[in-house]
Amino acid sequence: QLQLHESGPGLVKPSETLSLTCTVSGAPISSSPYFWAWIRQPPGKGLEWIGNLYYNAESYYNPSLKSRVTISVDASKNQFSLKVNSVSAADTAVYYCAILMGPGAPWRFFDHWGQGTLVTVSS
Amino acid sequence: QSALTQPASVSGSPGQSITISCTGTSGDVGAFYYVSWYQQYPDKAPKLMIFDVTKRPSGVSNRFSGSKSGNTASLTISGLQAEDEADYYCTSYTGSSTFIFGTGTTVTVL
């Protein structure tokens, strides 16, 4: 059974880098036919797609965040990670990892979401 | 890239049917048959309810159905139940493995 779990600091200072990890259980990242995704939700607001990564490092990002975001994979740990540089209060949100799936390409819907982790940007 | 437009709130009585709209553009909703819908309870992760406009994942009630016309997709909940009270979000594929979410709709069961 596929399960995802986010982890990382809950508090980040302005202008610093936000770093989160998503640990995957139930399937090997390196050989699974999925993209691995990050999505966030500011408190009381809607969902925002951040980006997707394939195990071969092929990645795609939200144009509004692309200059500050990196998604990477560590197949040896069955994890994928998110880094957001130069954060501000606007980056305060619950961050979710999820699997981008589809019965064939293009992968086109999100399933097996993690429980989410709140990251607050504050000094 | 602006969010897809959804009504902020929709309400209905138990047993009634309600429809939530999701309006995009010819570059997203209108261009692809790849709209999905998610249900989210407070402080919980979203759950996939509909994918590819009309398809239900295994385990999702057949009271949930989806459709699309032009640049607008819709989610219909028939036989409304108290457990359907939640937030609902649409998402559209926008090409090259990129996506856009809707603004979200709060469903209230009266």
Q: How much of chain B is helix, strand and coil, in % rounded to 5? A: 5, 50, 50
Asked if the Cβ–Cβ distance from B34 to A47 is below 8 Å, we say no
- pLDDT mean across residues, chain A: 95
CB-based contact (8 Å) between B37 and chain A?
A: no
Give chain A positions within 8 Å (CB) of B97: 35, 52, 60, 100, 106-107
Burial label, A67 (beta-carbon count in 10 A; 0-12, 13-18, 19+): exposed
pLDDT tens, position by position, A90-122: 999 999 999 999 888 888 999 999 999 999 999
Asked if the Cβ–Cβ distance from A49 to B46 is below 8 Å, we say no
The pLDDT confidence band at residue A60, using thresholds 50, 70 and 90, is very high
pLDDT tens, position by position, B18-67: 999 999 999 999 999 999 999 999 999 999 999 999 999 999 999 999 99
Q: How many CB pairs under 8 A join A and B?
A: 62
Look at residue A31 in the predicted model and tell me its pLDDT: 82
The pLDDT confidence band at residue A32, using thresholds 50, 70 and 90, is confident
Asked if the Cβ–Cβ distance from B101 to A48 is below 8 Å, we say yes
For A65, the token pair is 């965040």
Q: Chain A residue closest to B34 (CA)?
A: A108
